[in-house]
């Protein structure tokens, strides 16, 4: 069973994610990070990311201030729980510094200009409008994805399509070794990952459910939500370091 937990990187979800993972008792945890970004989150470093990640990072920082959160805290919380439970955790996202710069150099000039202008406009939005825009994304993430594809078709292939291909392969690799897995990923990736993982037994917790519902309600949900806790043998890795951390 694969549990896909949709998150928003600007919301204060660390404790919710920690609690849900503890309740589900997975054999492994996956996060939408690579090793370098994990290190940067731990050390609270900024900068060093290729365009357009640097622009997106600035927008995330500003939006997270509106909600009183720290960007990426939900990913750190997921890894913290994996360490506490002594289970392996996996970085399933594309190594940004290694893989994306060459692809981004091919980005059409028009999309680069539009992205810079959009980021600049977002930086000038009042906090109330920024919060409203973020809330709208939470309610209908697919609408944003459609708009993104309309205005930035090549950038979508790089930031969404190619990364989701990679994440789906990584998740399939992990599922070949562990039967009960939790993956914490951005809400905007859920539809693409579900499509790529057709045939995989999975359940989904969407961002708005994670934010607005209590833990008992989340666990009772049917359909795309978590219907019940999987009972089974829990694998314990009694080690100080994660033996899988270097494996890609």
User: Could you read off the pLDDT of 72-101 as tens digits, one per residue?
Assistant: 899 999 999 999 999 999 999 998 777 666
Q: State the pLDDT at residue 226.
A: 44
pLDDT digits (tens, 9 = 90+) for 192-223: 999 999 999 999 999 889 888 888 788 776 44
Q: State the pLDDT at residue 242.
A: 59
Residues 21-32 have a mean pLDDT of: 96
Q: How many residues does the chain have?
A: 248
Q: State the pLDDT at residue 85.
A: 95
**Partner residues linked to 3 by β-bridges:** 182, 203
Q: State the pLDDT at residue 114.
A: 82
> The tokens of 127 are what?
């906090």
Residues 18-41 have a mean pLDDT of: 93
Q: State the pLDDT at residue 66.
A: 62
Q: State the pLDDT at residue 160.
A: 87
Cβ-contact 57, 44 below 8 angstroms = no
Dihedrals φ, ψ of 68, to 5°?
Answer: 70, 35
Residues 103-113 have a mean pLDDT of: 79
Q: State the pLDDT at residue 58.
A: 65
Please determine, for residue 106, whether its predicted confidence score (pLDDT) is greater than 60.
yes
Task: Pick 51 or 174 by higher pLDDT.
Answer: 174
Residue 206 to residue 232: CA distance in whole angstroms: 24
Q: State the pLDDT at residue 225.
A: 43
């Amino acid at each position: 069973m694969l549990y896909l937990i949709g998150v928003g990187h600007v919301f204060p979800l660390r404790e919710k994610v920690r609690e849900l993972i503890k309740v589900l008792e997975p054999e492994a945890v996956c996060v939408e990070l690579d090793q370098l970004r994990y290190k940067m989150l731990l050390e609270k470093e900024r900068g060093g990311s290729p365009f357009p990640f640097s622009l997106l990072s600035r927008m995330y920082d500003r939006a997270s201030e509106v909600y009183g959160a720290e960007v990426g805290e939900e990913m750190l919380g997921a890894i913290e729980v994996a360490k506490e439970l002594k289970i392996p955790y996996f970085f399933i996202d594309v190594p940004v510094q290694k893989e994306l710069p060459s692809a981004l150099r091919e980005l059409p000039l028009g999309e680069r200009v539009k992205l810079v202008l959009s980021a600049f406009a977002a930086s000038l939005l009042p906090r109330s409008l920024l919060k409203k825009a973020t809330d709208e994304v939470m309610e209908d993430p697919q609408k944003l994805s459609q708009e993104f594809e309309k205005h930035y078709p090549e950038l979508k292939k790089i930031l969404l399509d190619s990364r989701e291909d990679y994440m789906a392969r990584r998740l399939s690799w992990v599922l070949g070794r562990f039967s009960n897995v939790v993956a914490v990923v951005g809400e905007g990736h859920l539809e693409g990952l579900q499509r790529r993982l057709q045939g995989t037994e999975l359940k989904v917790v969407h961002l708005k459910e994670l934010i607005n519902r209590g833990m008992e309600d989340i666990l009772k949900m049917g359909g795309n939500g978590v219907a019940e806790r999987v009972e089974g043998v829990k694998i314990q890795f009694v080690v100080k370091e994660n033996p899988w951390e270097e494996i890609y």
